[in-house]
Structure 1
Amino acid sequence: MATVLKVSDAASLAMHTMVLLALKPDRVVSTREIASCLQVSEAHLSKVLQRLTREGLVKSVRGPRGGFKLEKTHRDLTLLDVYEAIEGRLESSECLLESRSCAGDKCILGFLLESVNRQVRDYLTGTRLSELTDVYRRKDHAEQVNHPD
Structure 2
Amino acid sequence: MRLTTKGRYAVTAMLDLAYHSETRPVTLTDIAKRQSISLSYLEQLFARLRRAGMVEGVRGPGGGYQLSRDSAQINIADIISAVDETIDSTRCGGKSNCQNAQPCLTHDLWMGLSEQIRLYLSTISLDDLLQRKNVRQVAERQDKQSALGLDVLMRQESRLQS
Name whichever structure is richer in helix by fraction: 2
**TM-score higher than 0.5 here?**
yes
Which residue of 10, 14, 29 maps to 1:14? 10
Instruction: Tell me the TM-score normalised to structure 2 length.
Output: 0.73
Give the drift of 1:64: 3.1
- Residue in 2 that maps onto 1:97: 91
Counting aligned pairs with the same residue, the percent is 25
Cα distance in 2, alignment partners of residues 101 and 136 from structure 1: 46
| Partner SS for 1:14 | helix
Gaps of 5+ in 2: 142-162
Asked if residue 38 in structure 1 is aligned to residue 32 in structure 2, the reply is no
1:1-149 matched pairs, under 5 angstroms: 5-24=1-20, 25-87=22-84, 96-97=90-91, 100-104=98-102, 106-136=103-133, 140=137
Alpha-carbon spacing, 1:95–1:129, altered in 2? closer, same or farther (3 Å): closer
Instruction: Tell me the TM-score normalised to structure 1 length.
Output: 0.79
Alignment root-mean-square deviation, CA: 2.5
Alignment size in residue pairs: 135
Contact 1:95 1:110 in 2 (8 A): no
1:8-37: CA deviation from partner (whole Å, max 9, x where unpaired): 222111101111111122310001100001
Contact 2:2 2:89 in 1 (8 A): no
